[in-house]
Amino acid sequence: MYKNLDTKLAYRVFTGGPLVCISTKNKQGTDNIMTAAWSCPYDTDMLLLVLDLGHTTTANLKDGSKLVVALPSKDQKDIALKLGSVHGSESGDKFEHFNLPFEKSLKLGFKTLKDANAYFECELTDPELLKDKGICLCKVLNVYVKEELFDDESQSFVPGCLNTLHHVSGGSFSTSGEIV
């Protein structure tokens, strides 16, 4: 037996990729980081993120084209919730605002979430798509993953480490579970 839901709840059933933390800079060089729940791979070296047109991150990407996308672990749930609780336009640098530990991405030098499972240094590929729809299609320039979490032979995360967060509703998340 199935339950018929309102189509506006489709995204809750078809949960997409993992929760991500997106780092950008504005024209003045102020760092920003936000949480985004709608993400997925678009191609082997491209990511697709859906952003609100009114967010500081979206404005930063309209003015620049670089971003860092971090995959927080389940242990970073509280940080992810904090980052999503305030707009960058109100808080300035959220790393400073929340006194969050960070590291600099290796090539772009952007602040990113310290101890994330992985992070991707990216460049926006379609500014019009972002401007019109809030869809951030970006080319991955570099990808970094914690050494102990990745198996070179299988070219995937090691079994048991899939602890990325997936938004369910409100402050509830699931993790990606086991490899079966």
pLDDT digits (tens, 9 = 90+) for 28-53: 999 999 988 888 888 889 999 999 99
Please, which pLDDT band fits residue 114 given cuts at 50, 70 and 90?
very high
The CA-atom distances, in angstroms, between 10 and each of 13, 51, 139, 174 are 5, 18, 28, 17
Q: Which residue has the higher pLDDT, 140 or 149?
A: 140
CA nearest 96: which of 106, 86, 81, 109?
86
Residue 169 has pLDDT above 70, yes or no: no
- pTM, two decimals, is 0.86
Please, which pLDDT band fits residue 167 given cuts at 50, 70 and 90?
low
In the chain the beta strands, taken as DSSP E runs, fall at: 20-25, 31-36, 39-43, 46-50, 66-71, 102-104, 111-113, 118-124, 135-145, 150-151, 156-157, 165-169, 172-175
Task: Give me the chain's average pLDDT, please.
Answer: 85
Residues in the chain: 180
Q: What is the mean pLDDT of residues 123-149?
A: 93
In 26-134 the beta strands, taken as DSSP E runs, fall at: 31-36, 39-43, 46-50, 66-71, 102-104, 111-113, 118-124
Residue 112 has pLDDT above 80, yes or no: yes
Q: What is the mean pLDDT of residues 48-67?
A: 93
Q: What is the mean pLDDT of residues 141-153?
A: 86
* Paired strand residues for 47: 41, 138
